Chains A and B, each alone.
Chain A
Amino acid sequence: MKLPPVEYEAPTTVAEAIDLLAEYLDEASVLAGGQSLIPLLALRLARPAVLIDINGIDELSGVSAADGWMTIGAMTREYVAEESQAVADAVPLLAAALPLIGHEAIRSRGTIGGSLAHADPAAELPAVARALDAEFVVRGPSGERVIPAAQWFEGYLTTSRRPDELLAEVRFQAAKPGTGVSFQEVSRRHGDFAMVGLAVSLVLSGGVISDARLAFAGVSDVPVRATAAEDLLTGDRPSTELFDEAARRATDDIDPPADLHGSSDYRKTVAAALVRRGLRAAADNAARGSN
């Protein structure tokens, strides 16, 4: 369908954008890449009175590395991050997930901050951010807040951003030496939202897993860390038996939603398979790379 009538503002600075958000509050939607918001408008699932288009705010775009952290501006387009060697080096899990987002033309416009602020629990980037304990930097009338990923995702398409705040950037801790990553997903068609997705990051030190991070997409209304599996894996050496047990523990407590694409039980079975695959791939990745 055609989009419903809507007012349109195009600020060119973060300060202007915050003023507009403070004025319109819940009546406003922030328009970044538009690859989720425009369909929501077309389908009448979102009916904002005003769109605050942040595409003209140059200070929100860009990738920079400093002091062991990679900072990605909220308006950074997905294809830009996908093509960035700095991102591939510092946040390999993000680099692994980016090519799986939608299709090429979607990533031409779609943004890192847009996907994370939209907070679709089946999307790739929320799972990556949750796995890596990313930090969300929001700016509002009363200044800046830094929100850890564990507190960012509150529910389906819901974050802890207040209506008068703008997501400005997302920070990822740079991968440690010995890191191996994998992003796994199963979807009906290539490029669709995953029925289940899994972000995995392992650090191997002398053949032992010193850090394990697993986060599911699509099994709940927020991305979900598999902490029981992480605890099991940490301190042990990669093996098929270990990964099988991790798959059991990772899926013990999840209760995925059912829809016409798959039952809850089916998704649980898929989730367990992805844990085994993802751990094997991440362990191989860690063994291959010397970073």
Chain B
Amino acid sequence: MADITLRVNGATRTGSPEARKTLADFLRDDLDLTGTHVGCEHGVCGACTVIVDGRAVRSCLMLAVQAAGHEVTTIEGLAADGGLGTLQQAMWDSHSFQCGFCTPGFVMQATALLNDHPDAGEQQIREALSGNICRCTGYQSIIDGVLLAAERNRER
């Protein structure tokens, strides 16, 4: 057990995870942030994607103790005022999701992309989302949602 302090969604959080506990399980079990989903648990599906220090990472491939001193953003950290952000609204409008299991991972990966490239094009979006697996949608509606968000970013 190690005492750690980190920033999660803008707040200082502390915990004492076992060394073997992944960041994903720490967020879910210790911080009750169950919006981060755990799918394959070995870095293939992308469901557990969160943002650490501005970069999208797989939270199942990072130990919780490694997040000490770092800034983590999870799906709960988007749209802090309780409403939907531009990306979330655009994905809603595009029917980007069906069962919703992969949703947090896709939204966080797309958030990281649009933070760096607010007006990302389709090829860039497809490349960025290529590591996230969805078993329902066939992906097209997800791409459409991110494209719509990029379009709305350009208009603003």
Contact = CB atoms under 8 A, between A and B. Distances in A.
A97 to B, nearest CB: 16
Interface stretch (B6-14, B91-99, B124-132): B124-132
A43 B60 CA distance: 13
B41 A105 contact: no
Contacts of A105: 46, 49, 55-58, 109, 131
A104 to B, nearest CB: 5
Interface stretch (A32-40, A151-159, A198-206, A240-248): A32-40
Contacts of A1: 41
Contacts of A6: 19-20
Contact of B65 (A10, A102, A103): A10
A3 B127 CA distance: 30
B61 A109 contact: yes
B62 A7 contact: no
Interface string B73-116: 00000000000000000000000000000000000010011000
Nearest to A33: B61
A42 interface: yes
B39 interface: no
Given A104-B131, A105-B109, A106-B58, A38 B19 contact: no
B30 interface: no
A108 interface: yes
Interface in B14-61: 18-22, 25, 41-43, 46, 49, 52, 55-58, 60-61
B131 A103 contact: yes
A269 B1 CA distance: 52
A55 interface: yes
A35 B22 CA distance: 12
B32 to A, nearest CB: 18
A104 B19 contact: no
Contacts of B42: 38-39, 42-43
Interface residues of A, number: 30
Given A1-B41, A2-B20, A104 B127 contact: yes
A53 interface: yes
B22 A8 contact: no
A162 interface: no
Nearest to B68: A10
Nearest to A3: B20
B126 to A, nearest CB: 9
Interface in A1-24: 1-8, 10
B60 to A, nearest CB: 7
A145 interface: no
A190 B57 CA distance: 18
Interface in A105-126: 105-106, 108-109
7 contacts: A51-B19, A53-B66, A104-B56, A104-B128, A104-B130, A106-B61, A190-B130
| Nearest 7 Cβ contacts at the A-B interface | A103-B131, A8-B19, A39-B42, A3-B20, A108-B55, A105-B56, A38-B61
Interface of A: 1-8, 10, 31, 34-35, 38-39, 41-43, 51, 53, 55, 79, 102-106, 108-109, 190-191
